[in-house]
Amino acid sequence: MEKIVAQLARYAPNIPNAIEARQLMVAPDLEERFGLIGGHIFHGELLPGQIYEGRFGVRSPIAGLYLCGSGTHPGGCVSGFPGRRAAQAVLADRVLA
């Protein structure tokens, strides 16, 4: 972690003094602490079989239950977008009801 801070300090000299706390978590830590299988923050590998149609949609088999986490399309690497898609589905379903 020191090497990362030193590299950042080349561009932002004040950064070492601005850091109040640090924590390094690797995949096994993420799995143990947050239940992320394999420590994957995106709920699976970003491989062809697990992106696009390989991800869950926003609508679940239970009426009125919508999915908006990293496991849904387009995945967790697009911040907020799964939630936006779920909200759009809720609004669309309310209009149709």
29: pLDDT strictly greater than 90: yes
Q: Are 78 and 84 in contact (CB under 8 A)?
A: no
Mean pLDDT, the chain, rounded, equals 87
The length of the chain, given as a count of residues: 97
Q: pLDDT digits over 47-66, tens only?
A: 787 777 777 889 999 999 99
What pLDDT is attached to residue 97? 58
Q: Is the peptide bond before 48 cis (omega within 30 degrees of 0)?
A: no
- Is the pTM higher than 0.75? The answer reads no
pLDDT(28) > 90: yes
- CA–centroid distance for 7 within its chain: 26
Peptide bond into 13 cis (omega under 30): no
The 10s digit of each residue's pLDDT in 33-45 is 988 888 888 777 7
